[in-house]
């Protein structure tokens, strides 16, 4: 009799519908891990399906204030536009989140989509997930610090006074150097410098045969032919 009662009770329990509360003890143990946070699930789309499907990054420029600007060409209508980091193109509602000058990349955002364009065309670009966007923005902050340091170093270099090299020769030493250089130039048959030789140096070059002798007025006093010396004597009667 007791066995029959137990079987009847079990049959009655099994026939009752199960509710969520019956499984709550299992759910509380999270056998499949914690559920994703609200809003963390994002549908990943391809670049070809994004707002930047026809866009190409054509250039990255550093502005005078140290910020960066990205130049973009839209092949859809062959148009061109540019945006500075942290600004939005009002007409297209596209924001430039970040640029990586060294790797030639620019991160654009429109609505919930974030697309990284790379120099070379859309084929080399990608759509970022929320987690990837967060990681990139952290890296962008580090890059801005690096760029700021580079600008500071360049500013320091520009601020340095220009050092004019000191002349090797000055005064009498410079004059002697120019005289010696002029003599070597004449000896080598090169065009002479606009330097007037002293009388003794001029006489030395005459003695060496590199200069013709001249009188006080600068006229050559001797003409020597290859075979013999020619002398001319004219007597004019008036």
Q: Per the structure, how many domains does the chain have?
A: 2
pLDDT in tens, 170-184: 888 989 999 899 899
pLDDT tens per residue across span 47-98: 788 898 899 999 998 888 878 899 999 999 999 999 999 999 999 999 999 9
129 and 154 part of one domain: yes
Whether residues 144 and 180 fall in one domain: no
In a domain, 29, yes or no: no
What is the percent of the chain where pLDDT is above 70?
Answer: 70
In a domain, 195, yes or no: yes
Q: What is the pLDDT of residue 33?
A: 57
Alpha-helical (H) ranges within the chain are 2-14, 24-28, 130-159, 171-187, 199-208
91 and 132 inside one domain: yes
Q: Are residues 61 and 153 in the same domain?
A: yes
d(CA 106, CA 108): 6
Judgement on whether residues 152 and 180 belong to the same structural domain of the protein: no
Instruction: State whether 99 and 175 are in the same domain.
Output: no
Residue 90 resides in a domain: yes
Show the domain range for 175: 171-206
Highest mean pLDDT among 5-9, 19-23, 108-112: 108-112
Check pLDDT > 50 for residue 230: no
Q: Is 60 in the same domain as 138? A: yes
In a domain, 80, yes or no: yes
Burial annotation 180-214 (CB, 10 A radius, 16+ → b, else e): eebbeebeeeeeeeeeebeeebbeebeeeeebeee
Report if pTM > 0.85: no
Q: What is the mean pLDDT of the chain?
A: 77
In a domain, 119, yes or no: yes
Q: What is the pLDDT of residue 157?
A: 78
Domain end residue (candidates: 136, 158, 180): 158
- Coil/strand/helix, residue 157: helix
- Residues 141-167 have pLDDT tens digits of 887 777 777 777 777 777 878 888 888
């Amino acid at each position: 009799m007791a066995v029959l009662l137990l079987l009847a009770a079990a049959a009655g329990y099994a026939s009752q519908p199960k509710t969520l509360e019956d499984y709550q003890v299992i759910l509380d143990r999270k056998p499949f891990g914690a559920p994703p946070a609200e809003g963390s699930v994002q549908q990943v789309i391809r670049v070809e399906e994004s707002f930047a499907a026809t866009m190409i990054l054509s250039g990255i420029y550093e502005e005078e204030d140290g910020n960066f600007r990205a130049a973009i060409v839209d092949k859809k209508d062959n148009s061109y536009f540019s945006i500075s980091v942290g600004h939005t193109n009002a007409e297209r509602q596209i924001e430039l989140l970040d640029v990586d000058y060294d790797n030639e990349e620019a991160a654009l955002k429109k609505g919930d989509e974030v697309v990284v364009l790379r120099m070379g065309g859309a084929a080399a670009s990608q759509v970022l997930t929320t987690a990837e966007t967060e990681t990139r923005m952290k890296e962008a902050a580090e890059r801005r610090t690096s760029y700021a340091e580079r600008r500071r170093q360049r500013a320091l270099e520009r601020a340095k006074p220009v050092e004019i090299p000191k002349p090797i020769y000055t005064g009498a030493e410079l004059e002697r150097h120019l005289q010696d250089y002029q003599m070597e130039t004449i000896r080598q048959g090169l065009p002479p410098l606009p330097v007037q030789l002293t009388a003794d140096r001029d006489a030395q070059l005459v003695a060496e045969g590199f200069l013709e002798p001249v009188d006080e007025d600068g006229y050559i006093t001797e003409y020597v032919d290859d075979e013999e010396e020619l002398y001319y004597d004219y007597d004019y009667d008036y």
